[in-house]
Amino acid sequence: MGKPVNLNRFRKQKARAEKTARADQNAALHGLSKAERELAQAQNKLSTLKHNGAKRDEDN
């Protein structure tokens, strides 16, 4: 005779696996890679620096 199986544990493991698979699929479709995020962050920082460098002084 086989070992008894906890059906609640089995159900929860299956749900976790499905949720992880769905999350991985969504990340691949909608997410950015680490390199893409770092590039966007660097471009944003550069544009901010250029913008702030072009401001006029308010001392007049």
User: Residues of the chain with pLDDT > 90: what percent?
Assistant: 58
Angstrom distances, CA of residue 43 to CA of 3, 39, 53 = 59, 6, 15
Nearest-angstrom CA–CA distance, 16 and 24: 12
At residue 8, the pLDDT reads 96
Answer whether residue 13 shows pLDDT above 90: yes
* Spatial contact of 23 and 16, defined as CB atoms under 8 Å apart: no
Nearest-angstrom CA–CA distance, 3 and 37: 49
pTM score, two decimals? 0.49
